[in-house]
Amino acid sequence: MTAKVNPIPEGMHTITPHLVCDNAAKAIEFYKKAFGAEEGGRLPGEDGKIMHAIMRIGDSAFMLADEFPHWGSLAPNSLKGTPVTIHLYVKDVDAAFARAVDAGAVVKMPLADMFWGDRYGIVTDPCGHQWSLASHVKDVTPEEMQQAMKEQSACQ
């Protein structure tokens, strides 16, 4: 008799980002340095490219692989950008943001206190993936958020 297999593996969440990188081995080292990611393993292909790797930041996992254009699998740098932002909540966003920039991320949006109650900024990693980093600093009601958004829009 076969043991029942959990359809969602232990330690995984329902949604897991899977990033395509133009140099997955370098991306893994960047994520370790920039975000304190831990590598859970990798599957190298015969040509040395990474077919699959799994990383963990805090309680969340993400997967990544090298790009394979002949399979239609392209990294953001090959696509000239990305419409996707990966959001990362941290305890100390100022320190985390500085660490990411020191590791080679490019600032897309500097850190600022936002109307929805987060201290928030966006960086782009060397592969072209966007990461928003935030710490929640203030609880706001939906009404307060709406009013603050109107006030911010009026100033622009």
Q: What is the pLDDT of residues 54-112, one digit of tens each?
A: 999 999 999 999 999 999 999 999 999 999 999 999 999 999 999 999 999 999 999 99
pTM, to two decimals: 0.90
d(CA 120, CA 93): 7
Give pLDDT, residue 152.
79
Residue 151: per-residue pLDDT: 84
Q: What pLDDT was estimated at residue 78?
A: 95
* Banded model confidence at residue 4, pLDDT cuts 50, 70, 90: confident
Who contacts 56 (Cβ-Cβ below 8 Å, separation ≥6)?
11, 37, 38, 40, 62
